[in-house]
A and B are shown apart, each in its own frame.
Chain A
Amino acid sequence: MIVRSLNGLGDLLMYLGTVLRSALGSWRRREEIFDKSLLVIQQSLATTVFAGFFVGAIMTLQFTLQVQMFSALSYLGALVTSATVREVGPLLIAFLLSGKIGAFTSAELGTMKVSEQIDAIRCLGSDPIREVIVPRFLGIIIASFFLLSFGLLFSFFGGLLMATTFSGLPWEQYLSQIPRVVSGFSILSGVVKCFVFSLVIATICTYRGYTVFGGAKEVGDGVVQAATQTMIALVVADWFTTFILEGLINV
C-alpha cells in the first residue's frame, strides 16, 4: 500500500510537471483561461462569501468566550483576524471550494474521458493537456486565489459584525489592536496558503478527472477520490506551509 501510494504520488507530480510545462506557453489561450476563471468565480462567489462571513463570525464567538476569561476583550479583533487570515479562513474556504469546483472539474473531465472526447482531441493531433487541462487548471488557480482572498475579506466583516452585536465591543476597539498582531507576514502567510491550496485543488481534481478509465461508475469513483484526496492534501499542505512559514519567521 505504501509503494502504491508513493507510485501514485510520483504519477501526480509527473502530471503536475507536464501541466506546468504546457502552461508556460498558454499566453495565447488567455481568453479561454479568463473565461474558465470567470465561470468558476460565478459558480462559487456567493458560496465563498457566505462561508467566509460565517467563518469570521464563528471565530469571534469562540474567541469571545476565551478572551473574556482574561479580561482581554479589546484583543478580540486581533486574535480573530490573525487566526482567520493565517489559518482557519484559507483552510475552511479551500475545503468548500474543493467540494464545489473540484467535484465539478473532476466530473467534467472524467465524463470527457469516458465519452472519448479526449481521444477525439488527440485524434486531431492536439495535446489534450494543453487544450483541455491547462485552461481549467489555470482557471481554477486564478479563481480559487481570488475567491479565497475574497472569502477572507468577508470573514473579517463577519467577525466585525459579530463582535459589535454579540460581544458588545465597539468597532473602533475591534480594529485598534489588529495592526499589533496581524503583521504583513500574517497577510503574506494567508496569501501563500491561498496560492498553495488553489494549486492543490487544481492539480488533484484535474488529475483525477483526466485519469478516469471506464464508465459512469469510474467517473463517480474519480470524483470521490478527488474530493477525499484533495481534503487530505489540503490539511497536509496547510501543515507544511505553516511549518515552512513559521520556520522562516523564526530564522
Chain B
Amino acid sequence: MVGLKGEIMDVGKDAPIIELKSTSLGFDGHEVLKDFDLKLFEGDSLVLVGPSGSGKSTLLKLMAGLLKPQSGAVLYRGHDLSTLSKKLREEHLAEVGMLFQQNALFDSMTVFENLRFVIEEVEGIQQALDRKDDILETLEAVGLDHVLDHFPSEISGGMQKRLGIARALVLKPRLVFYDDPTAGLDPITSRKIVSMILELQKKWGATIVTVTNDMMRAYQLAGRCMVCFPGEFLKTGSAEDTKAFADPRVQQFIRGDVNGPLEAL
C-alpha cells in the first residue's frame, strides 16, 4: 500500500503519542514536506530509510519538536508542540530522548558528565546528584561504565555512539529518536549497536523512530518502514513487506542499483 503525501499512516492501535497534521516544511524554496500526516503510537518502532537529502532527519527533528512546521501542527499526546504549556513541555521533554547523527556529545564534559548534564537540565541539579545510580546503570547498560572520566575525544567512534544512546536513554524516555545510529561504523559494531537498541527497548519499553540508510539494520529494527524520497514518503509496512514492495524506486534503493528511476534524483 502506498502512503503518498497527505495520507494518514496508522502505525498502531491506541491514541497516537505523536501526530503530524497537514505539516509542510521547506528550506530555501525547497519543499521537504507538504501536507504530510503521520500518527505514531505507543510501542511502535518506525524506521525511515531513503536516499540522502530526502528529508528523513528533517522529519525526525520535526517529530522531536526541534523544527517547527511552516503550516500544520505536530501534536504530542494531542497537544500542539508549538503551543505547549511549560508543564506539558517539560513532560514532553522528559519523555523524549534523541541520538543525533553526529552524536552531538558535549566535548568539554566527561562521559559521566554528559549524562548528568541531561538530568540537570531537565530535572534540576539536586535530582542529578540524587540520580547518580541511574546514570551508572545506563552507562553499564551500554558498556561504558569503565570510561566514566574519559572525554568523548578519548573514546572510539563506536563508544561515542553508545554514549550518545546512553544520553538519549538516561531519563528512560517513552519516545526515542535515533538519527542514523550506525553511521560511520563497521558492520560488526553496527549490528551490536542495533542489537543494543532493541535490547534496551525490550528492557525499558519505548516508542522508537530510527533514521538509517542501512537496509540490513532497517530490517533488524523495523516494526514498520517508511521509504523517503524527496517530497514523497512511502509507507512500505514491515521488513518483509518492504522487501516485496512493488515501487521500482524502493526496489532500486534496497538493491543499491546504480541505474533506475532514482538516478535522476
Contact = CB atoms under 8 A, between A and B. Distances in A.
Interface of A: 115-117, 119-126, 131
B121 A126 contact: yes
Contact of A120 (B90, B104, B122): B104
A131 B64 CA distance: 20
A119 B167 CA distance: 14
Contacts, number: 40
B102 A116 contact: yes
Interface of B: 61, 64, 66, 89-90, 93, 96, 98, 100-107, 117-118, 121-122, 167
B122 A124 contact: yes
Contacts of A123: 64, 66, 93, 96, 98
Nearest first, the 6 A-B pairs at minimum CB distance are A116-B104, A120-B104, A125-B93, A124-B121, A116-B100, A126-B121
B229 to A, nearest CB: 23
A124 B93 contact: yes
A123 B118 CA distance: 10
Contact of B61 (A117, A119, A125, A131): A119
A119 B67 CA distance: 10
B84 to A, nearest CB: 10
18 contacts: A116-B100, A116-B101, A116-B102, A116-B104, A117-B105, A117-B106, A119-B100, A120-B98, A120-B167, A121-B121, A123-B64, A123-B66, A123-B93, A124-B93, A124-B122, A125-B90, A125-B93, A125-B121
Contacts of B96: 123
Given A115-B102, A117-B104, A122 B122 contact: no
Given A125-B90, A125-B121, A126-B121, A120 B106 contact: yes
Nearest to A131: B121
Contacts of B93: 123-125
Contacts of A125: 89-90, 93, 121-122
Between B66, B101, B118, the greatest number of chain A beta carbons within 10 A of the residue's beta carbon is seen for B66
Nearest to A115: B102
Nearest to B67: A119
A126 B66 CA distance: 12
A27 to B, nearest CB: 16
A125 B123 CA distance: 11
A123 B98 CA distance: 8
Nearest to A118: B104
Given A119-B100, A124-B118, 19 more contacts: A115-B102, A115-B103, A116-B103, A117-B104, A119-B66, A120-B104, A120-B167, A121-B121, A123-B64, A123-B93, A123-B96, A124-B93, A124-B117, A124-B121, A124-B122, A125-B93, A125-B121, A125-B122, A131-B121
